[in-house]
Amino acid sequence: MAYDAEDTRRRIFDAAAAEFAEHGLAGARVDRIATAARANKQAIYLYYGNKEKLFAAVLRAKLEEVPVAISIDPDAVAESVGQIFDWYREHPELIRLLLWEALEAGDAPDEGEPKRRDAFREKAHQLVDGGVAHHVPEDVRVRAAQDLLFTVMGLIAWNFAVPRMCRLALDEETDQAALDRRRETVIEVARRLAAAQGASVTGSRSDTG
C-alpha cells in the first residue's frame, strides 16, 4: 500500500488535538501522539516542526472550524447564542485548548494572531452594520460591539470552562442538568441585552426625529 501523507497528517492532527486538550502544551508527549496516530515521531517533526508549532496548528485549525459558532446575528441575538452554546457543548475540546493556551503560551503573539484578530474585527463590524450600538456615538460603535461580542462569548464559555463549579453552584446532580439550566439562562440574558440595545436605538431615533 502506498504511503498516504495526507492521511498521516490527519491522524497526527486528530491525535494531537486529543492529547493537547487533555494534557496541555507542557504535559503533552510527542511519543503518545505518535502512538495514537500510528505514526513515527519523525513524521510529526517533518509535518509540523516541533510540539509548540503543532499545538499552534491544532488551535488555529480548531478555531477555523467554527467561524459560524462565534457569530451573532444582530437580528436574532438570543437564537444565535443558543446555537453557539450547543456548538461548544458538542465540542468541549476547543475551550480546553483555549484555556491551555492562556495558561501556557505566554504573552508573545503567535503567527496566527493577526488572522484571529481580523476575524473578530469582522464580526464586530457585522454587528454594527446590523444595527447594534447605534445609540452610541459613531466613533465608539465598533468598541461597543466588541464589548458585547466578548461579553456574550464569556457568558457561554465559562459554563464549559468550569463545569464542576457550574454543577455545584447551581446545586444540580449532573453536569447535563446544570448545562440545560444554564443554556436557558444565557439565552434569556442575551435576549435582554438585545432588547436593551433595541430600546436604546429606538430612543435615540425618537430624540432625533
Instruction: Give pLDDT, residue 206.
Output: 42
User: Which three three-digit cell numbers place residue 34?
Assistant: 505518535
Q: State the pLDDT at residue 126.
A: 86
- 180 and 83 in one domain? yes
State which of 20, 45, 61 marks the end of a domain: 61
Q: Among 38, 61, 84, which residue terminates a domain?
A: 61
Let me know whether 167 and 111 are in one domain. Answer: yes
Per-residue pLDDT of the chain (209 residues; tens, 9 = 90+): 456 788 999 999 999 999 999 999 999 999 999 999 999 999 999 999 999 999 989 998 888 876 555 667 777 888 888 988 998 898 888 899 999 998 887 666 677 788 888 888 888 888 888 887 787 888 888 998 888 889 888 999 999 999 999 999 999 999 999 999 999 999 999 888 777 765 444 444 444 44
Dihedral angle computed from the Cα positions of residues 98, 90, 188 and 155, in that order, rounded to the nearest 10 degrees: -10
Q: Which domain holds residue 21?
A: 5-61
The model's pTM is 0.75
Pair 154, 109 in one domain: yes
| Same structural domain, 79 and 48 | no
Which phi and psi (to 5°) does residue 172 adopt?
A: -105, 155
pLDDT of res. 79: 85
Name the domain boundary from 18, 36, 61: 61
